[in-house]
Chains A and B, each alone.
Chain A
Amino acid sequence: KAGVTQTPRYLIKTRGQQVTLSCSPISGHRSVSWYQQTPGQGLQFLFEYFSETQRNKGNFPGRFSGRQFSNSRSEMNVSTLELGDSALYLCASSLESVNYGYTFGSGTRLTVV
């Protein structure tokens, strides 16, 4: 079966711009979570959506937002980009919750210049 698909794979943006990243979960998975991965901070939880509702949120500023559609596809948006937002953004999906085990996508590599 198809895995978790993230688009685009790579992005280069300028400070102050905004960006939208997309994630298509495995068919039947209703939980979608987003993580930021950087060499300094490692993997940090951004937020989780379940049945179109944000169920959990990490400690990131309000510039980071997301949403989930009725087909479980999810998008995350980062506004007013800063250099420190450069990272690998990973999407993960699960049947119901993290305790079932996540399936991760390959990520979107965002570079802010």
Chain B
Amino acid sequence: GDSVTQMEGPVTLSEEAFLTINCMYTATGYPSLFWYVQYPGEGLQLLLKATKADDKGSNKGFEATYRKETTSFHLEKGSVQVSDSAVYFCALTSNQAGTALIFGKGTTLSVSS
């Protein structure tokens, strides 16, 4: 079935470092892809999304490009801040999943000053 695989965490970075969190997906057809972020004690927030191949989603300095040829949707940010410390989830929806989101396991990011 459809699935999402994220890189294992935690990821520990210093402030202003470059961030990449890898996300690979398996899906039939043409899924829509999402990144969600969860801050401590809160629910998830939509960070960005892409609905077709080669689309680039971006928000708050974060970017991810929908790569159908490599079935990937890696999250990047050029310069992280302490306030970016959170858990990041890659997710997809597809014909098989219907109206449900299929999430990866999440990657914990910790940024120190």
Chain B residue at smallest Cβ distance from A90: B43
A97 to chain B, nearest CB (A): 5
Residue B51, interface by CB 8 Å: yes
Residue A33, interface by CB 8 Å: yes
- B101 and A98 contacting across the interface, CB-CB below 8 Å: yes
Q: Could you say which residues of chain B place their CB within 8 Å of the CB of A56?
A: 98-100
Known: A98-B93, A101-B34. A31 touches B45 (CB 8 A): no
A3 to chain B, nearest CB (A): 9
Count the A residues whose beta carbon is within 8 Å of the partner chain — how many? 24
Please count the residue pairs between chain A and chain B whose beta carbons lie under 8 angstroms apart in the complex: 58
Q: Could you say which residues of chain B place their CB within 8 Å of the CB of A58?
A: 100
Q: Could you say which residues of chain A place their CB within 8 Å of the CB of B32?
A: 98-99
- A43 and B103 contacting across the interface, CB-CB below 8 Å: yes
- B43 and A48 contacting across the interface, CB-CB below 8 Å: no
A–B complex contacts, Cβ < 8 Å, 21 sampled: A33-B99, A33-B100, A42-B105, A42-B106, A43-B89, A45-B101, A45-B102, A48-B99, A58-B100, A90-B43, A90-B44, A92-B43, A97-B99, A98-B100, A99-B51, A99-B93, A102-B44, A102-B46, A103-B46, A105-B43, A106-B42
Apart from A35-B101, A48-B100, A90-B44: 6 A-B pairs, beta carbons within 8 A = A50-B99, A55-B98, A56-B98, A58-B100, A99-B93, A104-B36
| A-B interface, 6 closest residue pairs, ranked by CB to CB distance from nearest | A104-B43, A45-B100, A43-B103, A101-B46, A104-B44, A56-B99
